[in-house]
Structures are given as C-alpha cells and as structure tokens.
C-alpha cells in the first residue's frame, strides 16, 4: 500500500516520534503537532519527489507514531488506537495497535450511543 511506503520513507529520512509524543523532523528539531482544516487526525508533510503530482504527501501522525513504536507490526494491525481518545496525544503510553472493535470500545458508552443514534437517524425513515 502506498501510505505504508510513505511512512517508511519518512522514517528513513529521519523523522521520529519520541516516547513522550513529540514529532522530530529530519534535521532533529521538534515540529509542532497540529490538525489542518477539518482533519480529525494531525498530519505532517514530507517531500517524496515524483511519487505524487505535487511531490508532497501528508503522513497521518498516529500511524507514523505506530511505526516508530512497533515497526513493521503496524502494517499487520487493523488500526492504531488512541487510548485516551485525544488525537493530538501520540505518546507511547497512548498509542497501541489493535482491532476496530477495540478502538470502538476505547470510546465511552455515551459517545458510542450518540454515534449510533446519529448513524440511525441519517438512514431516514425505514419501514
């Protein structure tokens, strides 16, 4: 998969996520972690040459953190989980690999119920 290769490229260029959740750039400086626009998860951009039309690709930070902490096992997992639900917290204590079901159960029961109600209402009236 293309995103897997881009994660490997970023790692090989020297980008890292520290155990306490700091993003380190390829020159060894800490980079600010932020969401762009309406994104749910923060990304950081790297130059990947002619692999894309623009030469730039946005790497999902939580997936990259998963690679820094778990290596190639990241690509065997269904998803990267945030144990505390904070998408900006990419510390080693908060990022774990798991299944989509485990990821859902990381959310509180109230949040899961609200999501289910919204999804059901979006289906409209059904006989």
Most confident residue range from 48-52, 68-72, 114-118: 68-72
pTM: predicted TM-score of the whole model, two decimal places: 0.82
The least confident of 20-34, 45-59, 60-74, 96-110 is 45-59
pLDDT tens column, 95-116: 999 999 998 888 888 888 888 8
Contacts of 8 (CB under 8 A, 6+ apart): 67
Render 49-110 in DSSP notation, one character per residue: GGGSSSSEEEEEHHHHHHHHHHGGGGGGSSEEEETTS-TT---TTTEEEE-HHHHHHTS-HH
d(CA 78, CA 96): 11
d(CA 89, CA 62): 9
Residue with tokens 């290596």: 71
d(CA 62, CA 80): 7
């Amino acid at each position: 998969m293309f995103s897997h290769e881009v994660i490997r490229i970023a790692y090989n260029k020297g980008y890292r996520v520290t155990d306490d959740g700091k993003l380190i750039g390829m020159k060894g400086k800490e980079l600010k972690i932020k969401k762009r626009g309406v994104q749910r998860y923060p990304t950081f951009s790297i130059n990947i040459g002619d692999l894309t039309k623009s030469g730039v690709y946005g790497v999902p930070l939580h997936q990259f953190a998963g690679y820094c902490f778990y290596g190639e096992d990241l690509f065997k997992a269904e998803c990267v989980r945030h144990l505390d639900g904070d998408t900006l917290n990419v510390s080693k204590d908060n990022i774990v690999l798991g299944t989509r079901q485990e990821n859902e159960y990381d959310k509180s029961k109230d949040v899961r119920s609200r999501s289910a109600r919204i999804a059901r209402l979006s289906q409209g009236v059904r006989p």
